[in-house]
């Protein structure tokens, strides 16, 4: 307890009653889609107290003044699909040599990189154990630096499936992952275990995947009944459910079962898009990471099987993304970081714009819309009075060139500055 007290004493935290006055050349307001000139923001106790122009809103006496010059201010970004636990450079069989302890330490490193890249909030959707819960708690306690984390713990899935199982191991060394289950009641029990140990959301798999040995991305896995059991248990306990789903029928199964978000959503037809729209299901589509997988990932030992599946699915997913955007589906920002290095999360913005989003829509996908998907639309995703003081700044204008978001210069989370270049 003495060690904890010492660590907390040195942890960054907004001083009670402290006021910070932030100004810059412009601010992007995702809600209106406008760039506001000469903004000023007054922050008190980690929350935004007021927002106005520098002419109208003056700094109170004694306030700390942060003049960001010619930079553009935005709300802190939200990545809805990450895997921060573990060394992202370990591909394929090389990952078998990573211990849980090592993976947890890498989580600390990855969390700080993610925060300094401007992502002040993330969902961690799938870990081999509850290291993501421990990391979230350490960040919340101020022991380490990182984004606000909403975590799932172990993914819940079928024997031999994409979620949770250890398919790289030979039969004589078989070991089931922590979330492996069969049938609705076992799936429900695993959901209860995850909630017991601190999960904020539940992750399951409705289809095979790219990076799991021996699974087919388009093939169904969990049944509708199994997914529905997970959803019923999670929802009655106040948790949302994210379902990994590449294949079209698996996507429809997950939506029918009542999940809240679809991860990847690679093979979408019009019916699946309409179902997502009608039921308010959010799509997190990771359309950047093939660029890394086919180059650096190949060098890092990604299985030939996975490289083949990735190559087959990449352009199909991007066209599905285009159609979902065109149809007005709720597409949120989710990158699958961990497949590629943490801290590079913002590289996906370019590809989202290339495949049909406007720059402001891409920014909304990582701010207001992502906050809505989290159920935190009244506290995250905007720079507005009463909201948590998560603020980033970049050089240039992201509405003209969205790639400037790849080079964040200023990061504030909960009113604490973590980066100011």
Domain residue ranges of the chain, discontinuous segments joined by +: 12-76+383-420, 77-374
Residues 65-92 as b/e (b if ≥16 CB within 10 A, e otherwise) read ebebeebbbbbbbbbbbbbbbbbbebbb
Nearest to 330 by CA among 364, 355, 377: 364
Q: Is 28 helix (H, G, I), strand (E, B) or coil?
A: strand
The matching CATH number, chosen from 3.50.50.60, 3.40.1710.10, 2.30.40.10, 3.30.70.141, for 12-76+383-420 is 2.30.40.10
Residue 72 · residue 27 · CB < 8 Å: yes
Q: What is the pLDDT of residue 12?
A: 60
Return d(Cα 280, Cα 270) in angstroms, integer: 15
Q: What is the 3-state secondary structure (H, E, C) of 130-150?
A: CHHHHHHHHHHHCCCCCCEEE
Residue 288 · residue 348 · CB < 8 Å: yes
Q: What is the pLDDT of residue 56?
A: 94
Stated length of the chain: 421
Return d(Cα 196, Cα 56) in angstroms, integer: 49
pLDDT tens string for the chain (421 positions)?
Answer: 343 333 444 446 555 668 999 999 999 999 999 899 999 999 999 999 999 999 999 999 999 999 999 999 999 999 999 999 987 777 766 666 778 888 899 999 999 999 999 999 999 999 889 999 999 999 999 999 999 999 999 999 998 878 866 665 566 665 667 889 999 999 999 999 999 999 999 999 999 888 777 788 888 999 999 999 999 999 999 999 999 999 999 999 999 999 999 999 999 999 999 999 999 999 999 999 999 889 988 888 888 888 999 999 999 999 999 999 999 999 999 999 999 999 999 999 999 999 999 999 999 999 999 999 999 999 999 999 999 999 999 999 999 999 999 999 999 999 999 999 9
Return d(Cα 102, Cα 100) in angstroms, integer: 5
Residue 45 dihedral angles phi and psi, to the nearest 5° = 55, 40
Contacts of 42 (CB under 8 A, 6+ apart): 19, 20, 21, 48, 49, 50, 51, 57, 59, 60, 63
For residues 258, 262, 268, 269, the Cα torsion angle rounded to the nearest 10 degrees is: 20
Q: What is the pLDDT of residue 174?
A: 59
Return d(Cα 302, Cα 339) in angstroms, integer: 10
Tell me the two tokens of residue 241: 């459910």
Q: What is the pLDDT of residue 201?
A: 98
Return d(Cα 91, Cα 213) in angstroms, integer: 12
Nearest to 366 by CA among 350, 386, 385: 350
| In CATH, 77-374 is 3.30.56.10 | no
């Amino acid at each position: 307890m003495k060690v904890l007290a010492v660590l907390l004493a040195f942890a960054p935290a907004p001083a009670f009653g402290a006021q910070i006055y932030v100004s810059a050349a412009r601010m992007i307001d995702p809600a209106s889609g406008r760039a506001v000139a000469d903004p000023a923001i007054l922050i008190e106790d980690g929350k935004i107290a007021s927002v106005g122009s520098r002419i109208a809103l003056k700094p109170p006496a004694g306030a700390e003044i942060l003049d960001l010059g010619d930079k553009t201010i935005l709300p802190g970004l939200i990545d809805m699909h990450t895997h921060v636990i573990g060394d992202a450079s370990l591909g394929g069989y090389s990952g078998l040599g990573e211990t849980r302890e090592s993976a947890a330490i890498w989580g600390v490193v990855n969390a700080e990189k993610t925060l300094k890249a401007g992502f002040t909030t993330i969902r961690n959707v799938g870990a081999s154990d509850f290291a993501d819960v421990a990391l979230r708690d350490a960040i919340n306690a101020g022991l380490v630096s990182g984004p606000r984390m909403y975590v799932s713990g172990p993914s819940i899935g079928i024997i031999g499936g994409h979620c949770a199982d250890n398919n790289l191991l030979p039969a004589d060394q078989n070991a089931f992952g922590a979330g492996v289950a069969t049938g609705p009641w076992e799936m429900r029990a695993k959901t209860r275990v995850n909630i017991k140990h601190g999960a904020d959301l539940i992750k399951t798999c409705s289809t095979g995947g790219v990076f799991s040995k021996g699974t087919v991305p388009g093939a169904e896995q969990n049944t509708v009944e199994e997914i529905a059991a997970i959803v019923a248990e999670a929802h009655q306990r106040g948790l949302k459910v994210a379902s990994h789903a590449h294949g079209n029928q698996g996507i429809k199964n997950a939506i029918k079962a009542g999940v809240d978000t679809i991860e990847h959503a690679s093979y979408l037809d019009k019916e699946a898009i309409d179902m997502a729209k009608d039921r308010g299901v959010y799509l997190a589509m990771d359309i950047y990471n093939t660029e890394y997988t086919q180059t650096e990932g190949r060098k890092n030992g990604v299985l030939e099987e996975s490289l083949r599946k990735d190559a087959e699915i990449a352009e199909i997913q991007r066209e599905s993304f285009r159609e979902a955007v065109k149809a007005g589906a709720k597409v949120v920002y989710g990158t699958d970081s961990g497949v590629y290095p943490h801290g590079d999360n913002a590289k996906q913005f370019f590809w989202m714009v290339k495949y049909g989003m406007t720059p402001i829509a891409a920014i909304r996908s990582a701010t207001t819309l992502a906050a809505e998907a989290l159920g935190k639309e009244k506290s995250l995703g905007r720079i507005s009075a009463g909201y948590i003081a998560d603020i980033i700044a970049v050089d240039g204008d992201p509405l003209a060139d969205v790639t400037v978001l790849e080079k964040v210069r200023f990061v504030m989370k909960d009113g604490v500055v973590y980066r100011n270049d």
